[in-house]
Amino acid sequence: MEPMTLHPPNETANADIDVVLVTGLSGAGRGTTAKVLEDLGWYVADNLPPELITRMVDLGLAAGSRITQLAVVMDVRSRGFTGDLESVRADLATRGISPRVLFLEASDESLVRRYENNRRSHPLQGGQTLAEGIAAERALLSSIRASADLVIDTSSLPVPALRAAIERAFSSESVAHISVTVESFGFKYGLPMDADMVVDVRFLPNPHWVDELRPHTGQHPSVSQYVLRQPGADEFLDTYHRLLNLVIDGYRREGKRYMTIAVGCTGGKHRSVAITEALAASLSPDEDLSVRVLHRDLGRE
């Protein structure tokens, strides 16, 4: 086990404390996430033993404490990991605290590539293959993933994009906001694994077949205008926006704080990009939403 590392707390005194438990697949970005949270002013504990987490929270609740935001990075190498995490959540509940669980994951292909690039073995690999170690960990953590408050798939996310996602989710002090990510993608590259809702905009004519538009993306004014002026485009955006308002109201009632809307076309270059930008723009005026745009497959073709 790596040595426990405690990063300095922020300077704000408060009797309340916000707790985030960071976990997920090995190699999916827990270390990067810890650094981003530290930059945001969170008190970050790496590999803190489960039995010490509640003690750390008690320190944060003590009068005069400067710990108002505590992030604990947990990994599968802790014995009885799944039970430990549930025990921590139960203990914190007795203190009136509902910790958020952030789960980081990536595709098998991405994890294998990262481990091979770093020439490291997987913590559950033992005498097995790397793929078997990854599969064992994925199975072990399946129940935790299912109950996590936020799941981030880092397969196609470079470090800056992961940082942006973490900042969007955890930089705001208000818990009333819902963080909405509107993400374009190409069906030819597969569905985004972390999408809550998927939209298929291949019913619109493809700018790829217009010679002067083909080289540009959906962010270019000429392509955007072409897509948005097609029959059905305005009606779709209006109808889907009204549908999202209903869903967002439901998310608020259920206490959900994160939503990822995936908008797909064939290659993720023209139609999905233009519709994603337009949809995000229609949601942005809502002050109770934090809207982020992500173009997953832009530049791949």
Q: Is 30 annotated as a binding residue?
A: yes
Summarised one tens digit per residue, pLDDT across range 119-163 is 888 888 878 899 999 999 999 899 889 989 999 999 988 888 888
- Does the annotation flag 24 for ligand binding? yes
3 CA to centre of own chain: 27
Q: How many CA atoms lie within 13 A of 158 on its CB side?
A: 5
What is the reported pLDDT for 172?
Answer: 54
Residue 26, annotated as binding a ligand: yes
pTM of the model: 0.55
Angle at 128 between CA 124 and CA 132, to 5 degrees: 70
Q: Are 98 and 92 in contact (CB under 8 A)?
A: yes
Please check whether residue 137 is in contact with residue 26, taking contact to mean a CB–CB distance below 8 angstroms.
yes
Known binding residue 77? Answer is yes
> What crossing angle do the helices spanning 50-61 and 81-93 adopt, rounded to 10°?
20
The strand pairing partners of 24, in sequence order, are 104
Whether 64 and 33 have beta carbons less than 8 Å apart is answered as no
25 labeled part of a ligand binding site = yes
Q: What is the pLDDT of residue 108?
A: 93
How far apart are the C-alpha atoms of 239 and 236, rounded to whole Å?
Answer: 5
Q: Residues 6 or more apart from 148 whose CB is under 8 A from it?
A: 23, 101, 102, 103
Q: What is the pLDDT of residue 253?
A: 75
39 is in an annotated binding site: no
Provide the pLDDT for residue 55. 84
> In the prediction, which pLDDT does 3 show?
36
Would the annotation count 31 as a binding residue? Answer: yes
CA dihedral for 240, 271, 267, 277, sign (positive or negative)? negative
> How high is the pLDDT of residue 261?
97
The pLDDT profile of the chain, 301 residues, written as one tens digit per residue, is 333 333 333 333 334 788 999 999 999 999 999 998 988 889 999 887 777 888 888 888 887 777 888 999 987 655 556 567 788 888 888 888 889 999 999 999 999 999 888 888 888 887 889 999 999 999 989 988 998 999 999 998 888 888 888 888 887 544 446 889 999 999 999 999 989 999 999 999 999 999 999 999 999 999 999 999 999 999 999 999 999 999 998 887 776 778 999 999 999 999 999 999 999 999 999 888 889 999 999 988 7
Q: Report the candidate in 216, 176, 198, 157 with the shortest Cα–Cα distance to residue 24.
A: 157
Which residues neighbour 116 within 8 Å (Cβ) at sequence distance 6 or greater? Answer: 130
How far apart are the C-alpha atoms of 46 and 23, rounded to whole Å?
Answer: 11
- Domains belonging to the chain, first-starting first, are 5-171 (3.40.50.300), 179-295 (no CATH)
